[in-house]
Chains A and B, each alone.
Chain A
Amino acid sequence: MSKAKKGKVVSYNKWGYIFLIPFIVVYVTFQLVPLFNTIYWSFFEYYRDGMTQIGPNVVGLSNYIQLFTSTDPNVPTIFDYTWNTLIMWIMGFVPQIVVSLLLGSWFSDNRLRLKCQAFFKTVIYLPNLIMASAMAMLFFTLFSEGGPINSMLMQLGILDEPFKFLYNTLSVRTIVAFMNFLMWFGNTTILLMAGMMGIDASLFEAAEVDGATPTQVFWRITLPLLRPILIYVMITSLIGGLQMFDVPQILTNGTGEPARTSMTLIMFLNKHLFSKNYGLGGALSVILFIITGILSMIVYKFSNNND
Chain B
Amino acid sequence: MASNSSMSLQIEDSKNTGGVKARRVVAYIVLVAISILCLFWFYVLFINSTRSHAELTSGFQALPNFKNFKFVTQFFTNFKNLMAGTLPIWNGLLNSIIVAGSCALLSTYFSTMTAYAIHAYDFKLKKAIFTFILMVMMIPTQVTALGFINLITDMKLDNTFIPLIVPAIAAPATFFYMKQYMESTLPLAIIEAARIDGSGEFRTFNTIVLPMMKPAIAVQAIFTFVQNWNNYFTPALVLKKDKLQTLPILIARLRSADWLKFDMGQVYVMIAFSIFPVIIVYLCLSKFIVSGVALGSVKG
A interface with B by C-beta (< 8 Å): 1, 9, 12-20, 22-24, 26-27, 29-31, 33-38, 41, 99, 102-103, 106, 111-114, 118, 120-127, 129-142, 146-149, 151-152, 154-155, 182, 186-187, 190-195, 197-198, 210-211, 214, 229, 232, 235, 239, 242-243, 245-246, 249-250, 253, 266, 269-270, 272-273, 278, 281-282, 285-286, 288-289, 292-293, 296
Q: Contact check, A12 vs B201: say whether CB atoms are below 8 A apart.
A: yes
Binding site secondary structure of chain B: helix
Within 8 A of A (CB), among B251-265: 251-252, 254-256, 264
Q: Contact check, A250 vs B143: say whether CB atoms are below 8 A apart.
A: no
B interface with A by C-beta (< 8 Å): 1, 4-9, 12, 16, 19-20, 23-24, 27-28, 30-31, 34-35, 37-39, 41, 44-45, 48, 57, 59-60, 110-111, 113-114, 116-118, 120-123, 125-126, 129, 133, 136, 138-151, 163, 166-167, 169-170, 175, 195, 201-202, 205, 226, 229-230, 232-233, 237, 247-248, 251-252, 254-256, 264, 267-268, 271, 274-275, 278-279, 282-283, 286-287, 289-290, 293-298, 300
Query: Can you list 23 A-B pairs, Cβ within 8 angstroms, ordered by A?
Result: A12-B195, A19-B114, A23-B133, A30-B163, A31-B139, A31-B144, A35-B147, A112-B24, A131-B229, A131-B248, A138-B275, A139-B41, A141-B271, A148-B44, A148-B48, A243-B141, A245-B142, A249-B252, A250-B252, A269-B142, A285-B143, A285-B144, A292-B140
Please report the C-alpha to C-alpha distance between residue A274 and residue B37 in the assembled complex, in whole angstroms: 36
Chain A residue at minimal CB-CB distance from B155: A29
Please report the C-alpha to C-alpha distance between residue A266 and residue B237 in the assembled complex, in whole angstroms: 13
Q: Contact check, B113 vs A19: say whether CB atoms are below 8 A apart.
A: yes
4 other A-B residue contacts (CB within 8 Å) besides A26-B170, A129-B278, A131-B247: A102-B30, A127-B38, A229-B297, A235-B138
Q: A31-B136, A126-B279, A139-B41 are in contact. Are A273 and B297 (CB under 8 A)?
A: no
Which 5 pairs between the two chains have the least Cβ-Cβ distance?
Answer: A34-B147, A16-B121, A211-B5, A37-B147, A19-B117
Q: Contact check, B34 vs A142: say whether CB atoms are below 8 A apart.
A: no
Residues of B within 8 A of A114 (CB): 24, 27-28, 31
Q: Contact check, B48 vs A125: say whether CB atoms are below 8 A apart.
A: no
> Nearest Cβ distance between residue A118 and chain B, in whole angstroms?
7
Residues of A within 8 A of B139 (CB): 31, 35, 289, 292
* Cross-interface CB contact of B294 among A38, A106, A130, A193, cutoff 8 Å: A193
Residues of A within 8 A of B30 (CB): 102-103
Residues of A within 8 A of B59 (CB): 151, 154-155
Q: Contact check, A33 vs B147: say whether CB atoms are below 8 A apart.
A: yes
Q: Contact check, B297 vs A293: say whether CB atoms are below 8 A apart.
A: no
Residues of A within 8 A of B275 (CB): 130-131, 134-135, 138
